Chain A
């Protein structure tokens, strides 16, 4: 997200989403949710809720003691022969990586799937220096080949069908293949095997950092993570500062939560723990610790829980909005509910405020989140930032919207005006009625009738109530 602050137009992005993409997204999300439900049931619902609470508390403890744990981490990584770099923003992080690359004359890079490198657009920076970058996670390899961006944080190509992928392979890799997942995987595997052996540098992100030992934890399902971080002579890991955990006891809790929430596994296939430089591994280990707006989020007490996220993707899978628009509609690296709270904080509400309204506040995300991030609460907090402004940003709402809210409150705030508006509405809308329905409402409710008719306002509850109370003596009317 380097300096790009063009406004994200969620509404425009959601028009013309291909139905096949929606279907593929829903199918993958449903499968992941069903598997997750099974392992959670097996774990025991009550135990699971306790684990979520523990996960939440551990993450919040780490975040509120970030300074101590980061200092400890740096000490331990350095003691183990690794080199720690601090990057305030994307530019600094990319420069650090490019400097290391040029010192080693790097031509070819293999990468482990990493959202943070998407965030800083590292591939773009490397390719700008003529360095070839190979994404080695199968899904990431596919979206890279397609020139797209991941549509889901753990399943980057979830929006594509096997037929589309086969077409892509035939076109870009000049191979003969059937739309068969096995065959497609085999093709990618063979191609990547060569690249692993020839690469001058391996780049990864990181799922967690364990402060007490200075260990980087990488969780992958395909084994590509191990190849990238052991075969090339240099390994550079770029990790957001919020990924820190105090110790291995906390890591045990987080790995349990993560594996189950991502894919419904009890444990992910490959859990790689890297502590500095070790024998037989890369000669150099560099850890780039990235801020890029995170300390700003940390300062905001209501929104800081955003940083507790462990990037499992469960909130996307369960989100009914995400399931109808796919990940690309969010116009940024992090899609779905977590993207709707993270992107506006990283890019500002001027650019991304519209995403905070891309939710019905149904609460399914907050309910499934393994670290109990109150996503709907944070959405409301950020909506306020958009409309009223707060300590961090001034209002970005158009004056018209604020004036309309003022006018509406003036009417709704007075019982007399409110009832008058009700009567006026019934009278003024009468010519638009077709039976019980109005098919085209005046603005702004024309947006409602774009999608379904509006029920014609009718009856007069207060009138009915008063008449009947007078006539029958039923009930009572409480006045102030």
Chain B
């Protein structure tokens, strides 16, 4: 099977090692990865900040980068995919070529854990990680895309992993894109509440499978010199396994 990698801005610029691990995992289970090099930003930061016209222009460019390719478009982010899947078709009037293309593209996108569990039916990657792990539920992944079980199914198959409950796991971590710089104090208060719940869970690691939330929570843990480490699901699945 062939997939197109949608690496996202935050992924490409801040989490390139996580992307390399994503490629490693996918290839190990026999998936051919392609990387459309003309992809940049999907347009969400513009659109969500109120610059809808700019968001639409970015969407057109993004669609152009992927339109000649085939297979699922897989990304390590629920937020960027939610934008492509749910927003793109709403951006263009029905009956236009752009709308048709947006609907077609929306049908191809798939978040990483969703792609493994729902498309490939792969739940065990042979990883081993003998630690206590909590799992945060990123808002756009869970509420936006409806990906609620996939993360846990994959984590439960990891050897030695002890999945501990996280209080208020579906409560926002305070990232919110533009929100984090518009209202940094409130963003921090929300992030700290998340960190308190993580600490109370007694987990050694917390899985945060959304680049924005990951840099938020990871930065917060760093700031308070916590021993807990935040990992993208991909980073965890690549550890101790054959990848």
A residues neighboring B (CB under 8 Å): 10-11, 14-15, 22, 320-321, 324-325, 354, 356-364, 367, 380, 383-388, 397, 405-406, 408-409, 412-415, 418, 422, 425, 437, 444-445, 447-448, 450-455, 457-462, 464-465, 474-480
Bound Cα distance A354, B11 (Å): 29
- What residues of A have a CB within 8 angstroms of the CB of B68 in the complex? 478, 480
Are B184 and A451 in contact, CB atoms less than 8 angstroms apart?
A: yes
**Given known A425-B13, A477-B34, contact A461–B20 (CB-CB < 8 A):** yes
Are B182 and A357 in contact, CB atoms less than 8 angstroms apart?
A: yes
B165 within 8 A of A: no
B177 within 8 A of A: yes
**Given known A452-B220, A475-B35, contact A461–B50 (CB-CB < 8 A):** no
- What residues of B have a CB within 8 angstroms of the CB of A321 in the complex? 183, 186, 190
Taking CB as reference atom, which chain B residue is nearest A435? B222
B175 within 8 A of A: yes
**Given known A357-B179, A367-B143, A452-B220, contact A384–B52 (CB-CB < 8 A):** yes
Of B38-46, B99-107, B111-119, the segment with at least 4 beta carbons within 8 Å of chain A is: B38-46
Partner of B191, one of A385, A451, A465: A451
Taking CB as reference atom, which chain A residue is nearest B26? A475
B200 within 8 A of A: no
Are A461 and B7 in contact, CB atoms less than 8 angstroms apart?
A: yes
Partner of B37, one of A10, A361, A478: A478
Are B35 and A465 in contact, CB atoms less than 8 angstroms apart?
A: yes
Min CB gap B221→A, angstroms: 9
Bound Cα distance A361, B183 (Å): 13
Taking CB as reference atom, which chain B residue is nearest A14? B186
Partner of A380, one of B20, B47, B65: B47
Are A453 and B41 in contact, CB atoms less than 8 angstroms apart?
A: no
Bound Cα distance A413, B171 (Å): 33
**Given known A405-B49, A447-B181, contact A452–B191 (CB-CB < 8 A):** yes
Are B50 and A386 in contact, CB atoms less than 8 angstroms apart?
A: yes
Are B223 and A460 in contact, CB atoms less than 8 angstroms apart?
A: no
Taking CB as reference atom, which chain B residue is nearest A349? B50
Are B35 and A452 in contact, CB atoms less than 8 angstroms apart?
A: no
Are B50 and A358 in contact, CB atoms less than 8 angstroms apart?
A: no
- What residues of A have a CB within 8 angstroms of the CB of B16 in the complex? 458-461, 464
- What residues of B have a CB within 8 angstroms of the CB of A415 in the complex? 37-40, 65
B23 within 8 A of A: yes
Bound Cα distance A458, B51 (Å): 29
Bound Cα distance A358, B176 (Å): 10
- Kindly list 18 other residue pairs between chains A and B, CB separation below 8 angstroms, not including A362-B172, A452-B223, A478-B68: A14-B186, A321-B183, A360-B176, A362-B139, A362-B143, A384-B50, A387-B50, A387-B51, A388-B53, A415-B37, A422-B13, A425-B13, A451-B187, A451-B220, A455-B15, A477-B35, A478-B35, A478-B37
- What residues of A have a CB within 8 angstroms of the CB of B69 in the complex? 478
- What residues of A have a CB within 8 angstroms of the CB of B37 in the complex? 415, 462, 477-479
B14 within 8 A of A: yes
Bound Cα distance A414, B64 (Å): 12
- What residues of B have a CB within 8 angstroms of the CB of A413 in the complex? 40, 57-58, 61
Partner of B186, one of A325, A367, A409, A478: A325
